[in-house]
Amino acid sequence: MKLLSRSYTKNGEGSVKLVAEEGEDLWHAYNIIREGDLVTATTFRKISRDSGAGSQSEKVKIKLTVRVEAVDYDAEGQELRLRGKNLTESEHVAPGAYHTLQIETQRAFTLEKALWDAVDLDRIQVACNPAARADLAAILITEGLANMVLVGRAESVECFVTWLALASREFCDLAA
């Protein structure tokens, strides 16, 4: 999970902006988001337009804030569904109307809580730390160069690179 911004105090209110990078990140979000939290995300709403020849429908992209009433995690579809009442003014969705936000991988969302407890903060720290999710640490060494890489199920992260300029070696011909 990628933490884009944060503005909270421990045992106080605040918000975080996150991007789920893989399905496991959605599981972390599922365990952090609770009833009563506010979530802001981009969503699509099917809008019916009535023309003289008949009705047509189209999907409109809008940004909504929802007060969460239900959270549903779909591991197979890799999405998180948050059902609640809309709090944002929009020409397509009235304030107070119910809407379901679908949080998917690679889509940013903002989570606002009235109370950030230690458990939620620890979970965010673990989800955003590539070292905590790594399955393997590898050090690649060549002449004068060393790389440390953390290898996970879905990504590899280069932690550091160090190099040392070595003096050129003089090779002698021992056969002579």
Instruction: Please indicate, yes or no, whether residues 139 and 110 belong to a single structural domain of this protein.
Output: no
**Position with higher pLDDT, 106 vs 22:** 106
Range of the domain at 172: 134-176
Rounded to 10 degrees, the C-alpha dihedral 23/28/32/33 comes to 10
Question: What is the predicted pLDDT for the residue at 93?
Answer: 85
Q: How far apart are CA 159 and CA 131, in angstroms?
A: 9
Q: Are residues 65 and 114 in the same domain?
A: yes
Claim to verify: residue 50 and residue 99 sit in the same structural domain: yes
How many structural domains is the chain composed of?
2
pLDDT score of 155 more than 80: no
Q: Indicate whether 124 and 171 sit together in one domain.
A: no
Whether residues 19 and 48 share a domain: the answer is: yes
User: pLDDT grade, residue 9 (50/70/90)?
Assistant: confident
Task: Tell me: do 33 and 115 sit in the same domain.
Answer: yes
Sign of the CA dihedral with 103 first, then 155, 32, and 2 last: negative
CA distance 83 to 97: 11
Q: Are 82 and 142 in the same domain?
A: no
Distance separating alpha carbons of residues 134 and 176, to the nearest angstrom: 53
- Give the whole-number percent of the chain exceeding pLDDT 90: 43
- Span of 10-24, 30-44, 59-73, 126-140 with lowest mean pLDDT: 126-140
